[in-house]
Copies of this chain bind each other. A is one copy, B any other.
Amino acid sequence: MRDMQNVFHLAIPCKDLDEAYHFYVTQLGCKLARRYNDRITLDFFGDQIVCHLSTQIDETPKMYPRHFGITFRDKREFDNLLSLARQREMRFFQEPMTRFERKVEEHRAFFLIDPSNNLLEFKYYLDERMMY
C-alpha cells in the first residue's frame, strides 16, 4: 500500500490547454487544481498530472514504452470508469481486454488517448498482489 498523503506527479506534453481541460476535467472527471498560461495541474484520481504546453507531441503513439494510469483495487471503480468513458464517448486506443487469462497476473485493461496523444491505461487485477 502507498502513503495516502504523498502524491505521485507526472508531467506530460499538451498541444492545447483547453483541449486538455476538456479531456481530463469535463470528460474524465478529474479536478482542476491550477491553471497557468503554459500549463494546467490536475488532481488525477488523487495523484497529480501536469499538462505542459509543448510542441513535442507524439504523432505515432504506441502502447509501449510510454503510458500511465491507475490500477484499481476495487473492481467497481474500474467498471465505473469504463462506463464513464463509454457514455461520454471518449476515444479508446484499446478496447477493454483480458490479459494473462487464467494466470496469476490476470487483469482487465483498456487504453484511452488524450488530445495530445498521451496514452492512459486503467487496470484491474483479480489478485491484488499483482498490482505492482
Contact (Cβ within 8 A) A47 B2: yes
Label chain A's interface by main secondary structure.
mixed
List the B residue with the shortest CB-CB distance to A130: B29
Partner of A5, one of B1, B64, B80, B121: B1
Residues of chain B contacted by A12 (CB below 8 angstroms): 65-66
| A residues whose Cβ falls under 8 Å from a Cβ of B | 1-14, 25-26, 29, 31-35, 41-43, 45-48, 52-54, 56, 64-74, 77, 80-81, 83-84, 87-88, 102-104, 121, 123, 126-132
B104 contacts A29, C-beta separation under 8 Å? yes
Task: Count this chain's copies in the assembly.
Answer: 8
Of B54, B71, B83, B87, the residue contacting A9 (CB under 8 A) is: B71
A83 touches B33 (CB 8 A): no
4 other A-B residue contacts (CB within 8 Å) besides A8-B8, A48-B131, A84-B127: A42-B132, A45-B129, A80-B127, A84-B104
Please measure, in the bound complex, the distance between the C-alpha atom of A102 and the C-alpha atom of B81, giving whole angstroms.
Answer: 14
When chains A and B are docked, how far (Å) is the Cα of A1 from the Cα of B56?
31
Contact at B74–A5, with CB atoms within 8 Å? yes
